[in-house]
Amino acid sequence: MPASAYAFPQSRAAQITFVLLSVYVIYALAQLDVSFERVLQGFAHAGRFLGKMIPPNFARSELLWNGLAESLQIAVLASALGIVLALPFGLLGARNLMPAWVSWPARLVIVVARSFHPVVVAILFVKAVGFGALAGILALTVASIGFIGKLFTEAIEEVSAKQVEAVRATGAPFTSMLAFGVLPQVFSRFIGFATYQLDSNLRNSTMVGIVGAGGIGGTLFAAFQRFDYDFVSAILISIIALIMAGELLATAVRRIFIDNATLRQLFRAGTPTHDRPLDDD
């Protein structure tokens, strides 16, 4: 069969890489004691565990809603602070706009912010500022700076140089070049980054509570310790509902800022706004 007939390019280096990767996967499975027997045993234990979680117990609704409200507050505050702080670092890290002596220190800050999982950062802040929501807000703010800063930097570096040069040719100052040459090209992507980060912080806000950084995670961890599995089920269902609400909110924000949708169009059934003309009929 001719080489052009293959769906993927065939090369000796690719074949060797695939073989080495396969050998390493087998080696790693053996080293980590992963076996089919353990998987089957796990399914049996999982069946008994799930049986104890049904039906869910929503009797302690006040404790549940207080934890969810705190997680929501942590996520929103951390997202807002993280986005505001990530903007200058993302801009300073763009190598097509800034000299190397400016971009590399900004990139270093972004790399440091991305280097650790939010739970690890939350443990550090719990040690620094004590238990509670403040530690969670600070931890997720750091995570937001790392994520938004990296993607915003990459988006700026991918902008069309023609539009930027056109604005510069008018003699406009640097701030005007940013406002009219750069930001219009990255605005829609930035809205997507921001809404995704809010969704991510909603999920992470339920985890940082496990280490004492506020939110519903602390309630969940306490329920596990008490073997209160029906309440655990109620908490998990509530977390899923919270994430779904966050997804709906993120979709609405994208339609408002990117598609210029009105409130009436947000609640109209049918295809997404960008697939049809915007009208009020």
CA of residue 20 relative to chain centroid, distance: 32
Do 36 and 108 share a domain, yes or no? no
Statement to judge: residues 207 and 245 lie in one domain: yes
- Whether 202 is in a domain gets the answer yes
Whether residues 152 and 29 fall in one domain: no
Amino acid at 251: T
108 and 136 within one domain: yes
* Residues 177 and 124 placed together within one structural domain of the fold: yes
pTM for the whole structure: 0.76
Range of the domain at 48: 3-52
Q: Digits of tens for pLDDT over the chain (281 positions)?
A: 455 556 656 677 878 888 889 898 888 877 877 777 777 777 777 777 777 778 888 877 788 888 888 888 898 899 999 989 988 888 888 888 778 888 888 889 889 888 888 888 899 999 988 888 898 899 999 999 988 888 888 888 787 777 777 777 777 777 777 777 777 777 778 888 888 888 888 888 888 888 888 888 888 888 888 888 888 888 888 888 888 888 887 777 777 777 666 666 666 644 454 444 444 43
Q: Name, in order, each residue with C-beta under 8 angstroms of 49's C-beta and a sequence gap of 6 or more.
A: 229
In the chain, how long is the greatest CA-to-CA distance? 72
Instruction: Look at residue 280 and tell me if it is in a domain.
Output: no
